[in-house]
Structure 1
Amino acid sequence: MIFRGFLLLAALLSGHAWAYGEESFSGSDRKKIEENPANNGALHLEVKQAPLAQIFKIIEDQSGVQLHISSLSQRRVTATCAGTALEVLKCILGKEANLVYRYEDKPSDKNSKPLLREVWVLNSASGEPRSLRHNPDQAVCEATENFPDGQHGQQPLVGEEQQAFFHLEPEEMERLMDLSQSSDPKWRKEALSRLALVAEDEDDGGVRKVLTEALQDPSPAVRAQAIFGLTRRDDPERESVLREALHDSEVEVRLMAVSNAGEDRALLEMALHDEDRVVRDLARMKLGKIE
């Protein structure tokens, strides 16, 4: 169930004054963040009694990722997390957090990895991050996950570092194609998010077919990833895919459509009439950039 009106665009929060650094914590409060500056690099975050809003702002500043976040709890968090920006975010929120994310449209060169650009955090029913609900005093997180079906020795399908590739070996492609048909929507989403980044000249038509079929998936997260994968290609059906997505019943699918609308003024103006405020705000923000 999607709770309407919970999200605020990060761009709308930028006018607020936030204090960062050691001086922003008092008493026993402390913060430590070490990072290899890059969206695909490693972040190491240790916080003790830190405001959740401040943690998210640190992730934004250090990674260059724009976060679209709900009205945040005033609760303070104690946590230790390491990994890519997306993995640290999942660590703070819990691995079952409802996230929608988008990579850059084109890499800077053929051999580079596309960077994560935006993440939307869709609220759970409680409005609290999962890790805080389970243990409100401390969250020590491990940003790792195992493959299904006992494939524990392989790299996880999470985070930008694992997802952001354009070239896949044939056996990896086959494995992801199989995983895209999993009975678990979480694994279908992860497989689709990886397949969506496959270069068109390496696709014999199989990836496009999987992405197209996924537009009808019962999981909105899977549908959103399918939209991302199809609209970043030179697809003659791109406009119709986006327009149909704008009529989806789930807000995360409509957000993905608006996010990938480019400078399609007609489509963005259509989104200005969406029932969800966040979709309208995103459309208005994108229109402002092209005017």
Structure 2
Amino acid sequence: MSGHSHHHHHDIDWADRLAQLRMADRLDADALTPAARRLLGGLPARPVVVDVGSGAGGMSVLFARELAGGGGGTVVLVDATPELLGEARRAVAAVAGGIVEVVGVEGDLADPQLAARVPRADLVWASGVVHHVGDQQGALRTLAGLLRPGGVLAIGEGGLEMHCLPWDLGIGRPGLEHRLSAARAEWFAGMRAGLSGSVAMPYGWPRALREAGLGDVESFGALIDHPMPGSDLLREYVVHRVGWLAEWVGEWLDPDDRATVAALIDPDGPDFLGHRDDLYLFGAKQIHCGRLR
């Protein structure tokens, strides 16, 4: 749902997408709370948690809430976009309850000096970030290098694509969402190929974590399930999501689908998605983690 990363190689304005990231964080919170609890479970008292590519701070809010309910700890937010970093710091501080220290570091996973700029971590979290780096395996080694011995690296990558639209919308050709997904896959392949220093990684994330020197590697999922008719927040999010997906993958969509999307996101038009009662959100996030021996 949310790619919580900023990269100077792309023309995505992440600060501009703040409202959308915030909505996604709110919609994901119930599903990701147990995941946050599980990742913090085996850590020592008052752990240091580093969130690389923290975006609007959604996952760190959940970490901080868990830590505040326990013995406290430290949450370090790392993001390359100052606007997002400031926003995330405010969001996390609001739940830190005075016993969780919140630190912000303006930085990028592609920076070889990153390890010198953040404290050693008991848990490193990076969601939707590694796939924006040319050398993904190298990026995982960098992340593993932020850990204390016994520390855990957890990445949110992959899962089941979010679905939010009925098959037939009463406008345009049915199956629009599937074509948006296919176009996004094409866009993604092109984005990866165009990254400076792009290196193929022809195997899955668990093996990549093992190649980065981690053991006890495991994967688990978090189901995002908001059934129709859904809330106002959900409807607003779906309108945003469909709009930015179409904008992002425009050149891979045919003109008819582009026209359909324009009608769907027009608040003054008869086909505006925001007026429907059959929107939903269903998908899953996959989390892969391993421990530095």
TM-score normalised to structure 1 length = 0.26
Larger relative contact order, structure 1 or 2 (CA cutoff 8 Å, min sep 6): 2
Query: Which of the pair is proportionally richer in strand?
Result: 2
